Amino acid sequence: MIVKMLHKKGLKSEHAYAAAFVSIGLSVVSWCGSMKVEPMGVARADRWGIFVGEWAPTFFGLGLALANYEEAHESLHVVSD
């Protein structure tokens, strides 16, 4: 299971949630930066902002999956102790 492997590698739900919030911020920054730099204007800036903004739901979903795994994993340790 991917979530188990990520958890074993040290990824926690807090990391995934932080990545989601960072991607939201990067979406705004990339939109503003692209709007000022790109000669194509608003259409290109919107595409960049949307592209980066689409990462957030994935990270939030991963955070939820990791939180559920962590909760189940912790409850197993409490029961076995």
pTM for this structure? 0.78
User: What are the tens digits of pLDDT across the range 49-60?
Assistant: 788 888 999 999
User: What are the tens digits of pLDDT across the range 19-75?
Assistant: 999 999 988 888 777 767 666 667 777 777 788 888 999 999 999 999 999 999 887
* HEC letters along the chain: CHHHHHHHCCCCHHHHHHHHHHHHHHHHHHHHHHHHHCCCCHHHHHHHHHHHHCHHHHHHHHHHHHHHHHHHHHHHHHHHC
